[in-house]
Amino acid sequence: MKGSWIQYARGFVTVKLAAGQPGAFLNAALADKLELWDLYYDKDEKLVFRVTVPDYFRLRPLLRRAKGRTRVMERHGLPFQMARLSRRKTFAGGLIGFVAALYVLSTLIWNVKVEGISRMSADQVLAAAKAEGVYKFQWSFRLPDTSVIADRIAGRLPEAAWVGVERNGTSIDITVVEAKKPDVTAPESPRDLVATHDAVVTYIVAENGRPKVQTNQRVRKGDVLISGIVGEGDRTKAVVSKGEVRGLVWQEYDIVSPLVRKAQAYTGAANDRKYLIIGNRALQITGYKLKPFEKSDYRSDIKRLAWGKWTLPFGTWDEREQEVVYQEQTLTAEQAKEAGLAQARKQLLAKSGKGAVIRAEKILHEQTENGKVMIKVLFEVEQSIVSERPIVQTNQLPGQAIQGE
């Protein structure tokens, strides 16, 4: 069996039976219920074993019976470590000082974070927190309960509807929920809805205003689709026209798609490096002689030490550098064509706005040369074709009114 932590605490030694009869010795040890482990014979055919310190002193009568003699080869465990430390007072003092410094550093507030704000500034929240004793390098034991801190900070921030404070180790997280203010909407001015493209109207609904076109009608860019002037004769008025108009729009694209493409792939080779984190600094402890790859990708895993609910300013950083290569992929002309068309469709729909749909496409020209497929394609897209245009009233006649909704 291997030495457990209990055996480490009691101390144990590695012993060689330098003389005597190993069989008789082992039978006697078994009869006396001594705990021996890791038994083996060395190159000189001498029995080697491990035994705890208390049991080691029970070996003498057994050795006399077996006419044996032992030699201690190694000493392990806490008693021997303490004995070494007592002889190395400087090291022991340094170790005690390190533990004390670690405790002191873990009781300081190292970071104060503010979350959840949009209108308020972080400086404003931090100033309120500082007024209540929450700031960097403050002793954590001097701070009251987090609920008390939250109530006090909220009292200093009239624009906050709620404040939450959470302590995560050596960090204080302040979450602020801002009070909602009623939206003040400026009155809208009268306007027309006009066409953004040359198109054929496929759908029109006027929520406010007067429709000027109908489905299947061809319109040009700038034509009025829904007018903001309603009424007849001297009883007309200008309103804010609202509605939805969709139409078929034609877009022409020139596409160049290469026949050879490069793709990234991992080779499986990797370099692992480990760093010790102290505060905001990292000290490399492994992987000094590893040469960086010509092309690589990095992945990191940072682990902070924790003591109960406290996060200490110490930890480890495991970094893996993976070698990558760029492989060439050769496409057929048809594959390159389809890849180019797919990219063009994606760009077209993103540009055409929400709800746009490609109804048809027609290849106008296609040519393959110099390792590229060149295509000219015409897309037919159904999309929204409205934009707003203010109504400018230069001469307002009696009886006319301007109404904003």
Q: Tell me the CATH number at 71.
A: 3.30.70
Kindly list the averaged pLDDT for each block of 10 residues, start to end, along the chain of length 405: 66 84 81 84 85 84 78 83 72 77 82 89 92 89 89 90 87 89 71 95 94 95 93 86 95 93 87 86 84 89 77 85 89 92 93 93 93 95 94 57 43
Do 255 and 265 fall into the same domain? no
**What is the domain count for the chain?**
4
Joined tokens for residue 231: 């009424």
Residue 298 pairs in a beta bridge with 321
Do 245 and 338 fall into the same domain? yes
Q: What is the pLDDT of residue 187?
A: 67
Is residue 395 assigned to a domain? Answer: yes
Do 168 and 215 fall into the same domain? no
Do 353 and 232 fall into the same domain? yes
Q: What is the pLDDT of residue 2?
A: 45
CB atoms within 10 A of CB 16: 17
Do 372 and 247 fall into the same domain? yes
Is residue 211 assigned to a domain? Answer: yes
Can you point out the beta strands (E) in 20-136? Answer: 36-41, 47-52, 69-76, 111-115
Q: What is the pLDDT of residue 393?
A: 66
Q: What is the pLDDT of residue 61?
A: 81
Do 245 and 371 fall into the same domain? yes
Q: What is the pLDDT of residue 44?
A: 80
Can you point out the beta strands (E) in 34-138? Answer: 36-41, 47-52, 69-76, 111-115
CB atoms within 10 A of CB 378: 13
Do 250 and 344 fall into the same domain? yes
Closest CA relative to residue 108, chosen from 259, 258, 314: 314
Do 58 and 33 fall into the same domain? yes
Helix (H) or strand (E) holding 63: helix 59-66
Q: How far is CA 27 from CA 53, 64, 66, 231, 400, in A?
A: 20, 13, 10, 118, 121
Q: What is the pLDDT of residue 291?
A: 87
Is residue 42 assigned to a domain? Answer: yes
Helix (H) or strand (E) holding 99: helix 89-106
Taking the mean position of all CA atoms in its chain, how far away is CA 83? Answer: 48
Do 311 and 272 fall into the same domain? yes
Full domain range(s) for residue 162: 111-178
CA distance 132 to 157: 12
Q: What is the pLDDT of residue 92?
A: 66
Do 286 and 338 fall into the same domain? no
* Chosen domain end from 139, 158, 178: 178
Is residue 198 assigned to a domain? Answer: yes
Do 152 and 281 fall into the same domain? no
Is residue 89 assigned to a domain? Answer: no
Is residue 104 assigned to a domain? Answer: no
Do 278 and 391 fall into the same domain? no
CB of 337 within 8 A of CB of 375?
A: yes
Is residue 346 assigned to a domain? Answer: yes
Is residue 100 assigned to a domain? Answer: no
In three-state secondary structure terms, 189 is coil
Q: How far apart are the first and last CA of the chain?
A: 87
